[in-house]
Every structure is written in C-alpha cells, then in structure tokens.
Chain A
C-alpha cells in the first residue's frame, strides 16, 4: 500500500512538472507581491519613525512576510483544489472506486505532491530573495527551534488539507461546492496571518481568529520561528493543532463514509 502511495505521489509530481513554467510564474507572482508588501512596510516604518510596530521590528516584519509568502506558496494556491469535488460531481469517482486503492488516499497523496512541488519551487525562490535581503532579515538557525517550526508546518499542511477536503466532500450532497471553498479561502488568507501578523488586529478580532484552525497555518509557525512565543504557548498550540487535526480527520472520515454510501446508492 505504501508503494502505491509513493507511486501516486511520484505521478502527481510528474504531472505538475509538465506545467512547471506555469507554477514557477505563479510563485514569481507571489514573490513579487511579497516584495511590494515589504516595500510598503518599509515606508510605513519610515513614516512612523518607530522601530517597532504591533510588536514587530522591521527585520522581524520582513522575515514574517517572506515566511508567510513561502508558506502561502504551497498552502494558499492548493486550497482551491477542485479535484475531489469534480470527481464526485462528474461521476469519475466511480472509476476510482473500482481500483485497488482508496480514492481518499489518492487525493491525499496528490495534494501532498502538489504542496511538495510548489513548496520546492517556493523555497528556491524565497531563498534567492532571502539572500538578496539578508541584512534585513532575522535568521534563526537553532536546530530545536527549526524542528518545532517544521512540526508546526507539517501540522499546517495536514490541517489545510483536512479543512478543504471536508468542504470538497460536501459535493456528495451539494451540487456546487465552489462557494464553500471560496469563502473558506477568503477567511483563511487573513485569519491565517498570511497578510499581516494577527497581533495587528484589534483585540476582539484576534480572539475570534484564535478560535479558528487557520491561526496554525502561518501565524503560529512564524511566531515559533521568530521566537515571539512562550514555550508553554508552543506546547499548548501544538496540542490544540493536534486536536483540530484529530477532529477534522474524524469529520472527514464520517463525511467520506456517509457520502460514499449515498453516492453508491444513487448510482449517479
């Protein structure tokens, strides 16, 4: 079974590679956006005359933006993945069901492959950018912190997949899931801390965001990286992220089972 998973992963990578120019341009676009925002913040800091805004110094802010850009490059764009919904709606799920592996597993590994591919391109691009801007950045290279950062990222990847997959699975009941996924993506962009650190928002907004799983997408990992978070907060954060993951995984399992029952009963 692992062999099949790896095969699926590899095939999905090759598929992406066929459109590599497209993806590279996409990442370039993302990098350009981040650069522009960096310039914006440079001007904002200059205008304010202060060295710290919202608890972030200029180097910290720039690092945050680059990190957010990098994470976004594989989390934001793959959120729109219509593969699952489409397979359910146009009936091609039937073809998948007769094959000796779980369609859910297929979608999971294809999604991971997509994220890996984009992440690799993103990493290359942002590394170049980081080299260019290196005096302005915060470089955290302690292995323990990086390991925690990596763990948080892994949680983010899984969480993102589970959130959007549960929406996509609604296709078993709803004719068009685009509205759900669009709305969720809109919220994710801001509530994830992808645009600015969540500490910039008014207190009540921050409280609302803290209740959502999106805070673990960008804000939480970046805080770990920049060491702007207490150790016990890291622990409680990771536990909560794990809880979200478990909860969403359970939801996915229920949706998948119920949905499949309905799908095969309808003979659609």
Chain B
C-alpha cells in the first residue's frame, strides 16, 4: 500500500517532467489549459446571463454543480482516463503490455496510472476556486456532516467513473474499436454538468437509475446542500461499489484472456 502510494507520487513527478521536457510545449499547455478553463466559464456565464434559474436550481446552485463536475472530471483526466481509454488499447495492440506484466506491481495499477497528466492540474485548481466561490455565494448553513458526505460522494463519483471507463477499456482485449465507445461515454458524461431537471420524466429516471450519471456531480452537490436522503446516499455508494466489483472481475477476465491467447 505504501509502496503504491510512493509509486504514484513518483509517477506524478515523472508526468510533470515529461511535459517539461519540451519547453514551448509546456508553456503552451499551461496557456491552453488556462484558456480552456476561462472559455468554459465564459460559456457558463453566457448562458446564465439570460436566466436566473434552471428548473429547481438557482444560478449559485448550478455553479456548485458545475464546479463539482469539473473537479471530478479533472481528477479523472489527470489520472486514469487517458491511461485506460487511450494508452491501454495501444499497449495491448503493440504487445508492450508484456513489459508491464513483468513488473512486480498490480497490472491494473500501471494500466490506470502510468501516465499522469499533470497539466490538467492547472485546470483543476481554478475549479477549486470556483467551488469556493460557489460556496461563498450560496450562503447556506453547512454542517460538517454535509461536507463529509460531499467528500465521500466525490470519491464515490470517481469510483463510478473508474469502473465504467475500466469496463470500456477492458473490451480492448477483444476488439480494436474500444476507443469509439470510450469517446461516446466521454460525451455522455458531459450530461453531469447540468442539473437533471433539464430532462423530463423518462430521461431523468434513466440518468439516475439506469446509467447513473447523476452520481458524478448532482448527487454530491445535493448532499452538500443538505438535500440528499440517507437512503439515496446508500444507493449511490452501493451502485458504484457494485460497478467497481464488476469492472475488476471483467478486467481480470480480460487479462487472463491476454495471457492465454496472445503470442
């Protein structure tokens, strides 16, 4: 456990060094990420310039939702998203996965965390700022319990996303077309940016119970605002947990398949 943590810190450092290996690239990436964040905020503002609430959600509440979503999204893109969606299929195709298999580390660890995109950290920090700003504007009485639930549900959201991304990535043990599926899921998760109130009946149900993208940011936000029932909290955790178990089992199957049928 401690070794994996130490390894993770080292991979972060290596990720940063790799980006810094090319000077113009590094500064441009910083610039690019800042610009992207700024333009995102501009978009958000442009929409809300015209209205003062979205369904049941006020501007400040939607700001919280927005910040939460991007917080989770950036943690995902810093860590496992590119590794699983992009690098893993390439490793499998080229056979380079072999050299990871001979390292005395869990293959899933290397497959998920080998490339840490430290540049997205630059996008991550403003999100924290945005979160702070949203909380400041919201002026609601927060309890430590709510904050704790929020934190827990953020982790839960990451577990959920990890599980789904892993399941999609594992299909690359059998097919070369997994990148397309990963892209679709990526686009679909964008729905987590908005409150589900924008949908009517069926789709609302769908995004809460069938493909629970609501878990990404709406659920944590509701918890922070004190609007989440304990039953739902349980549902959220159980959902992610179950998905994670399925994902890891599936991964093991894929790995076994690789060991049996690759040459």
Contact residues of A with B, CB < 8 Å?
A: 19, 21-26, 28-30, 32-33, 36, 39-40, 42-44, 47-48, 50, 53-54, 174-180, 182-183, 186-187, 189-190, 195-196, 200-202, 205
Q: Which residues of chain B are near A29, meaning CB under 8 Å?
A: 180, 183-188
State the main secondary structure of chain A at its contact with B.
Answer: helix
Q: How many Å from the CB of A167 to the closest CB on chain B?
A: 10
Q: Which residues of chain B are near A183, meaning CB under 8 Å?
A: 28-29, 31-32, 35
Q: How many Å from the CB of B15 to the closest CB on chain A?
A: 14
| Bound: A129/B72 CA distance, A | 31
> B4 contacts the other chain (Cβ, under 8 Å)?
no
| Bound: A23/B179 CA distance, A | 9
Given A33-B187, A47-B51, residue A21 in contact with residue B46 (CB < 8 A): no
| Bound: A205/B188 CA distance, A | 29
From B25, B43, B179, B197, give the contact of A176 (CB < 8 A): B25
Interface string of B35-53 (1 = CB under 8 A from A): 1100100110011011111
> B258 contacts the other chain (Cβ, under 8 Å)?
no
Can you list 22 contacts pairing A with B, beta carbon distance less than 8 Å?
Answer: A19-B176, A24-B180, A26-B180, A29-B184, A29-B185, A29-B188, A33-B188, A36-B190, A40-B194, A43-B197, A47-B51, A47-B53, A176-B22, A177-B25, A178-B29, A179-B25, A179-B26, A179-B28, A180-B24, A180-B25, A195-B43, A200-B47
Given A179-B24, A187-B39, residue A25 in contact with residue B50 (CB < 8 A): no
Q: How many Å from the CB of B165 to the closest CB on chain A?
A: 14
**A200 & B49 in contact (Cβ 8 Å cutoff):** yes
**B22 & A175 in contact (Cβ 8 Å cutoff):** yes
Q: How many Å from the CB of B168 to the closest CB on chain A?
A: 11
Given A43-B55, A44-B51, residue A36 in contact with residue B194 (CB < 8 A): yes
Interface string of B187-206 (1 = CB under 8 A from A): 11011001001110001000
Q: How many Å from the CB of B50 to the closest CB on chain A?
A: 5
Q: Which residues of chain B are near A21, meaning CB under 8 Å?
A: 177, 180
| Bound: A177/B23 CA distance, A | 11
Residue of A nearest to B32 (CB): A183
Q: Which residues of chain A are near B14, meaning CB under 8 Å?
A: none
Given A24-B180, A25-B177, A179-B25, residue A196 in contact with residue B47 (CB < 8 A): yes
From B55, B183, B186, B199, give the contact of A47 (CB < 8 A): B55
